[in-house]
Amino acid sequence: MAAKIAPKAISAISRPSTIAPALRNARGHAAAVEPPAPGPGVARAYYRDGDVRTNWRRSEIQKIFDGPLMETIFRAATVHRMHHDASRIQMCTLMNIKTGGCSEDCKYCSQSSRYSTETKATRLVDIEPVLEAARQAKANGSTRFCMGAAWRDLAGRKSGFEKILKMVTEVRGMGMEVCTTLGMLSPEQAKRLKEAGLSAYNHNLDTSREFYPEVISTRSYDERLATIEAVRQAGISVCSGGILGLGEKDEDRVGLIHEVSRMPAHPESFPVNTLVPIEGTPLEKNDPVEVHTVLRTIATARIVLPNTIIRLAAGRHTFSETEQAMAFMAGANAIFTGERMLTTPCSGWDEDKSMLGRWGLRGQRSFEDQESLEIPQAQTEAAVSATA
């Protein structure tokens, strides 16, 4: 006679769970999520993989990060399938709309005016070339168009900001998600970007709070968090992730994930960049980051941030196709595609579409699950007449 399986046991088998210590022991490794410690007035709480939580403890995340890599990837792949269509990878294109001459001192960046690199400072690009680049990106399958400007903030850039607002409205009017990365923002500037139709704003935390001062001194961690808060308050999606290979340790990679996991709402997007060392920058001689570290970071982020889009960003060209496929298995579900990614090389659309096809993956449609494409008609018309 077949043994009866209790309903609770079935659920534990079909969905990785933190409930039963026996199940955890039977697996022989630390695959389970450690619940918050109960204390006076704090009831013991249990969580399951796939739960969206903003009360992660750093030790819990470290335990996931340190687990056997293949198990962590399997677990992340399972969480991924609870929240996303695992056959879809979003293709995004990033355009530099203002290059170089930045007053900040981010040690990895070729656009800082403090370092002697080959990157030459340019003025803010005109509207039409940006729109042409967005059209080309859309025609090639990108559904998100990001615009980056190398500067500390928008102070004293009134006309430049107006121009960027028009770019945002126009690109959004093409049916693409629009993201910008323009340095620090005030709440008022964030509000105006939202009104122009901005879908998302990128502002990376880069690394853990402790390691951050080793990399940047001109802008504090808390200033970064304040910009992210302004973006969130304006109703814009938050894109905030980090860079691997800055000289940080595993604890810092965990610290970064912990920081974003504790935000009142997780960032909708978490880019994982790997350092592309640039001659002339203080980090030019840094060792390349190992693919296992990248996979471990992505898998951990996927488990901790189940709903978030995880972007395999700068440095992807240094990984083989198989390594990239492992990253998709670990939970990455967006890539940057196009001719360049800011100042670093990038894979082209045809190359990426062929790669995705070989692994049974396909591009993601814009706003597939989340947003409406509607933009107030008046905004689109105003932008068209202003650029005509």
Catalytic residue among 24, 75, 102, 253: 102
Binding site for [2Fe-2S] cluster, residues?
146, 179, 239, 311
CB of 147 to ligand SF4, least distance (A): 13
Catalytic residue among 239, 253, 296, 316: 239
Long-range pairs of 224-231 with CB within 8 A, sequence gap ≥ 24: 224/184, 226/184, 227/183, 227/184, 227/185, 227/203, 228/203, 228/263, 228/267, 230/185, 230/186, 230/187, 230/189, 230/190, 231/185, 231/190, 231/201, 231/203
Catalytic residue among 146, 157, 253, 302: 146
CB of 336 to ligand SF4, least distance (A): 16
Report strand pairing: 88-98 vs 362-363. Answer: parallel
Task: Look up 106 and say whether it is catalytic.
Answer: yes
Pick the closest to residue 260 from 290, 220, 302 (CA basis).
Answer: 302
CB of 308 to ligand SF4, least distance (A): 22
Task: Look up 346 and say whether it is catalytic.
Answer: no
Residue closer to ligand SF4 by CB (options 62, 96) is 96
- Under 8 Å CB-to-CB from 69, ≥6 apart: which residues? 292, 295, 296, 299
Strand-pairing partners, residue 48, are 17
The pair of structure tokens assigned to 291 is: 């693919």
Catalytic residue among 179, 224, 296, 346: 179
Residue closer to ligand SF4 by CB (options 103, 140) is 103
CB of 24 to ligand SF4, least distance (A): 42
Task: Look up 179 and say whether it is catalytic.
Answer: yes
First to last CA, the chain: 78
Binding site, residues?
102, 106, 109, 146, 179, 239, 311
d(CA 210, CA 83): 31
SS3 content of the chain, % helix, strand, coil (to 5): 40, 15, 45
d(CA 354, CA 362): 10
The binding site for ligand SF4 (CB under 6 A) comprises 102, 104, 106, 109, 111-112, 150, 183
Task: Look up 192 and say whether it is catalytic.
Answer: no
Binding site for [4Fe-4S] cluster, residues?
102, 106, 109
CB of 150 to ligand SF4, least distance (A): 4
Catalytic residue among 24, 75, 92, 109: 109
Pick the closest to residue 349 from 193, 164, 139 (CA basis).
Answer: 139
Pick the closest to residue 72 from 276, 250, 265, 286 (CA basis).
Answer: 250
Indicate which residues carry an active-site annotation: 102, 106, 109, 146, 179, 239, 311
